[in-house]
Amino acid sequence: MNLRTSCTIKFEIPDPTPFILMLRPRSGGQQWVEREEFKITPHTPVFEFSDTYGNLCQRLIAQPGLFSIHTSSDVIISDYMDQGFDAPFVEIQNLPDSVLSYLLPSRYCESDFFYEMSLSITQGQLLGYNQVAAITDWLRENISYIPGSNNQPLSAIQVNERKFGVCTDLAHLGIALCRGLSIPARIVVGYLHKLKPMDMHAWFEAYIGNRWYTFDATQTGSPSGYVMLGVGRDAADVAIFNQFGPPVYPFEQLIQVEQLSF
């Protein structure tokens, strides 16, 4: 499947304002970026770096006045996301070093509180993929997915109390439940084709059977149409923009995903 994604964000900047952006998709095993645009208007010196999770990030100082970011990319992805029923749990001692940090609690995923609950949700499941599938099913049935229901990320504990949330909230609880079982789990932020209403999206991945698998409790059926922008431990790591100093908010944010005909 070939998807064209785009994201336009516009600000009115009062004072020189530092930003860190995470809007450049990386090519990887799951996606190939065949074309990409990344325009910053007015043009501003930008420094790009890889963060500790391997995301390409851009630093810049937006100058006072209209400041707009426009990115667009054509990405080739599989028609269907891989599923891995029965893929086995990886024993801690066999995990790659680079995956270990995804076992620890993080800002919005207090996994240290979810051991009992994880066990109960996944009772009787084969260790590994089937546990995470059970967690995802449980989220679908117990936590209502209500786009726009909050503006600030909630933590897994808060989501579990509130019983509804946005995509990020469901991902946080899913991640916390996986880590509670010693299954490495991470958040992904990116685009989803046909998401309704269209917006940036977030889902989670779990490390099972020696690879990462995708899970998304906000959707049903076979997952497809995902384009990854960034990965991290939770929403604190994968903001599409971090802005420092007195807060400024975009006056326009437009996300689009369309399928290309070939």
Binding site for a second copy (CB under 8 A): 18, 20, 24, 26-29, 32-40, 43, 45-52, 54, 57-61, 76, 91-93, 97, 100-101, 103-107, 109-110, 112, 152, 182, 236-237, 242, 244-245
Minimum Å gap between C-beta 38 and a second copy is 6
Of the two residues 106 and 136, which places its CB atom closer to a second copy in the complex?
A: 106
- Residue 226 tokens, joined: 């995902």
54-57 long-range contacts, CB within 8 A, separation 24+: 54/26, 54/231, 55/22, 55/26, 55/229, 55/230, 55/231, 55/232, 55/238, 56/22, 56/24, 56/26, 57/20, 57/21, 57/22
Q: Distances in Å between the alpha carbon of 136 and those of 17, 50, 122, 143, 191?
A: 39, 31, 10, 10, 19
Beta carbons within 8 Å of 196's beta carbon, 6+ residues apart: none
Residues in contact with 27: Cβ distance below 8 Å, sequence separation at least 6, in sequence order: 33
Q: How far is the CB of 55 from a second copy (least distance, A)?
A: 11
- Residue with Cβ nearer a second copy (50 or 83): 50
- Nearest residue (CB) to a second copy, 64 versus 245: 245
Nearer to a second copy, 43 or 163 (CB): 43
* Nearer CB in complex with a second copy: 175/195: 175
Supply the minimum distance, in Å, between the C-beta of residue 109 and a second copy: 8
Quickly list DSSP for 93-140: GGS-GGGGGGGS-BTTB-GGG-HHHHHHHTTTPPTBHHHHHHHHHHHH
Please state the closest distance from residue 113 (CB atom) to a second copy, in A: 10
Smallest gap from residue 237 Cβ to a second copy (A): 7
In the complex with a second copy, the residue whose CB is nearer, 42 or 144, is: 42
Distance of CA 113 to the CA centre of its chain: 22
Q: Which residues contact 74 (CB under 8 A, 6 or more apart)?
A: 2, 3, 4, 33, 34, 35, 36, 260
Shortest Å, Cβ 82 to a second copy: 13
Nearer Cβ to a second copy (110/216): 110
The distance of closest approach from Cβ of residue 260 to a second copy in the complex, given in angstroms and rounded to an integer, is: 13
Query: Rounded to whole angstroms, how far apart are CA atoms 244 and 168?
Result: 22
